[in-house]
Amino acid sequence: MEGLNIYSINIWEACSSEQEVLVSRQSSPDNKAIVLATTVDIANQVCYLVSTHTRKLHDVDRNVSNYQEIDSFSKTISCIIDTKDEPITFKPEIVQELLTEPILPKMKMSDIQNQPGRLFFAHCTDGEDKKKVRGQFWVYALDDVIANTIVTEHGNRLGIFDLDVDAILVELYPFKDTCVFWNADLIEYDMQQ
């Protein structure tokens, strides 16, 4: 299965000039997004689409552009995407359209992540009573083994379950579509031995 790179994007709304961008960047971003995509250009485009849709929902002038600042990672990070919301997904056909007919100019920065990771939805149940849900998380990691470790560490750290006492069953559901987690946070885990 093809992997996805991860990007953290800060968004400042309604900047109508370069001067306004400079002033706006001195304050905290208005929104932030965690984007999973194959390239930084796709990440930039889908985040822009989500941002303009959000502004439309809040009746903000769509002709005024936002300003996005993208951070990428040089390696696959191991993390929980901390959100209670479902990601906003983009099917392959939409991504292909954005590649052939982009809505934003190509970015001047190149990708630095040397190996794509995988996104999973983790569903944790009691090892003895599989109907008893102990936690659900979005996790990004290099593979399913690392993802499983992160999920159990995270649940243990939050006190959702005690790994010294509880038997936990973790089911990982791979997610392969380009997606945007709007106003989500990353909780990184150091998986180096």
The residues that bridge with 137 in the sheet, in sequence order, are: 122
Compute the distance between CA of residue 9 and CA of residue 32 in angstroms, rounded to an integer.
Answer: 6
Residue 50 tokens read as 């989500």
Model confidence pLDDT, tens digit, residues 107-160: 888 899 989 999 999 999 987 787 889 899 999 999 999 999 999 999 999 999
Q: DSSP characters for 105-145?
A: PPPS-----SS-BEEEEEEEEESS-TTSEEEEEEEEESSHH
Which residues have a Cβ under 8 Å from the Cβ of 102 and sit 6 or more positions away?
Answer: 41, 45
| Predicted local confidence at residue 66, as pLDDT | 64
Yes or no: say if 18 and 150 are a contact pair by the CB < 8 Å rule: no
Model confidence pLDDT, tens digit, residues 14-73: 666 667 666 766 777 788 999 999 999 999 999 988 887 755 444 444 444 567 789 999
